Amino acid sequence: MSSSDDATRRAGAVLTVDLGAIAANWRGLRDAGRAAGRPVDCAAVLKADAYGCGATIVGPWLAAEGCRQFFVAHLEEGIALRKAMPEHPIYVLNGLLANTDADFVEHDLTPVLNHLGQLNAWRAAAQRFSRPLDAIIHIDTGMHRLGFGAEEAQVLINERGRLRGLRLALLMSHLVASEEPNSAINGEQLSRFRNFVRAMPGAPTSLANSSGIFLGPDYHFDLLRPGAALYGINPLPGRDNPMLPVVTLQARILQTRRIDAFQTVGYGGAWRSARPSRVATIALGYADGYFRILINRTHVHLAGYRVPVIGRISMDLVTIDVTEIPEALCETGAVVEILGPHMTADDLADHARTNAYEVMTALGRRYARVYVEPPEPEPESEEGPEITP
Count of residues interacting with ligand PLP (CB under 6 A): 11
- Taking residues 40 to 79 in sequence order and writing x for each that binds ligand PLP by CB under 6 A, - otherwise, the string is -----x----------------------------------
Residues 173 and 150: their CA atoms lie apart, in Å, by 12
Is 174 a binding residue for ligand PLP by CB under 6 A? The answer is: yes
Beta-carbon count within 10 A of 201 CB? 7
Element (H, E) at 116: helix 116-128
Select the span of 52-60, 127-135, 221-229, 237-245 touching ligand PLP (CB under 6 A). Answer: 221-229
From 47, 51, 231, 286, active-site residue: 47
| Residue 99: partners with Cβ closer than 8 Å, 6 or more residues away | none
- CA–CA separation, 367 and 27 (whole Å): 28
Give just the sign of the alpha carbon dihedral 259, 262, 263, 267: positive
Please say which residue, 190 or 300, places its beta carbon nearer to ligand PLP.
190
Residue 298 to residue 318: CA distance in whole angstroms = 11
Rounded to the nearest 10 degrees, the angle between the axes of helix 150-158 and helix 116-128 is 40
Nearer CB in complex with ligand PLP: 140/337: 140
State the pairing for strand pair 271-272/90-92: unpaired
Cα 151–chain centre separation: 32
Task: Give the nearer residue to ligand PLP in terms of CB position, either 45 or 336.
Answer: 45
Contact between 226 and ligand PLP per CB under 6 A:
yes
| Contact (CB, 8 A) for 314 and 266 | yes
Binding residue (CB under 6 A) for ligand PLP from 209, 250, 256, 344:
209
* Span near ligand PLP by CB under 6 A; candidates 188-196, 209-217, 261-269, 365-373: 209-217
Q: Please report how close the Cβ of residue 218 comes to ligand PLP at its closest, in angstroms.
A: 17
Closest distance between ligand PLP and the C-beta of residue 258, in Å? 45
Q: Which of 246, 253 has the CB closer to ligand PLP?
A: 246
Taking CB under 6 A as the criterion, which residues in 89-108 touch ligand PLP? 93
Q: Is 367 a catalytic residue?
A: no
**Catalytic site residue from 51, 267, 286, 367:** 267
Three-state DSSP state, 24: helix
Q: Is 389 in the site for ligand PLP (CB under 6 A)?
A: no
Does the active-site annotation cover 47? yes
DSSP state of 377: P
Q: Which is nearer to ligand PLP, 186 or 210 (CB)?
A: 210
Q: Which is nearer to ligand PLP, 76 or 373 (CB)?
A: 76
320: three-class secondary structure by DSSP: strand
- The catalytic residue positions are 47, 267
Residues contributing to the site for ligand PLP (CB under 6 A): 45, 93, 174, 209-211, 225-229
